[in-house]
Amino acid sequence: MKQNFNYHTHTYRCHHARGLDEEYIKAAIAAGFKTLGFSDHIPYPNHNGGRMRMSYDERLEYYAAMKRLKEKYKDLIDIYYGFESEYFEEYHDYYFEIKKEVDYLILGQHDSTLEGRARFFSDFRKEDYKDYERLCIKAMHTGLFKVLCHPDYVLLSVNEYDDDLLRMFEAIFKEAAKTNTVIEINLNGLERGKGYISGELTYSYPNGKILKIAKDCGCRFIFGADAHYPEKLLHFENDIRTFEKENPTRFITLEDFKIC
């Protein structure tokens, strides 16, 4: 399936991606993209960013660089910029304020607190199910986020599809369908290889079993590169084909999807 846009692209400012902004754009053009959206990890006031995100003051340089490149490449590709953001309840008003400064926000719920260490990503446990479900659903109901990124990446630290886990996903996806939040099939997970979940050798994410629940709930889908280096965009079509070979159920992507 052809998809000529990607809205999940990081930059070196998050301290765990590499490559210059312009290198991503050139790779996107070479790959045949019509639209490229940058969505580096959102900064927070009075927070230095650490190894996860830019500092709050750095956002101004990010905006300036994006505006310059948007103009420079306007005849070749449409450029948008925003943030991949968590939803923390204490920052509810802040998200609405920073949304005014950028083109879009996408939801990537890495933890339940700003000072956490991405435990939903690296150490997801049964006692975390409720927090993950609650925060994803609250975020989607704000209307700020058009895309829920990598909802299945929590499976990186899960070895069983227990009933509570499946119920959690079903609850999230039912609300995604109600709020018209698009589900991202995150292709970055393919690089992490396969592991065993309930005795099945499978990708933790993108995970066909979990995404099938989303499909059954009436969700819509796009693919996301989650690019942390420019060459990732050149692999986009091959990654889509790899996913589709593993998943006989046809997933629907929105070829005309506009995030802003």
Segment-wise mean pLDDT, segments of 10 residues, the chain, 260 residues: 91 97 98 97 91 94 98 98 98 98 97 86 91 98 98 96 98 98 97 96 96 96 98 97 88 86
Q: Considering only CA atoms, which of 253, 162, 239 is closest in space to residue 203?
A: 239
Token couple for 210: 């979990």
**Is the bond preceding residue 206 a cis peptide, omega within 30 degrees?**
yes
Residues 6+ apart with CB under 8 A from 191: none
Neighbouring C-alpha atoms within 13 Å toward the C-beta of 217? 27
User: Which residue has 């070829």 as its token pair?
Assistant: 255
pLDDT at 130: 97
**Whether the Cβ atoms of residue 73 and residue 35 lie closer than 8 Å to each other:** no
User: What pLDDT score does 2 carry?
Assistant: 79
pLDDT score recorded for residue 12: 97
Q: Where are the domains of the chain?
A: 5-246
Exposed/middle/buried for 56, CB within 10 Å: 0-12, 13-18, 19+? middle
Q: What is the pLDDT of residue 192?
A: 94
Q: Is 200 helix (H, G, I), strand (E, B) or coil?
A: strand
Res 1: pLDDT:
57
Please give the CATH topology (third level) of the domain spanning 5-246.
Answer: TIM Barrel (3.20.20)
What pLDDT sits at residue 167? 98
Could you tell me which of 150, 41, 131 has the C-alpha nearest to residue 85?
41
Task: Let me know if 90 is exposed, middle or buried by CB neighbors in 10 A (0-12, 13-18, 19+).
Answer: exposed
Classified as helix, coil or strand, 119 is: helix
Q: What is the pLDDT of residue 222?
A: 96
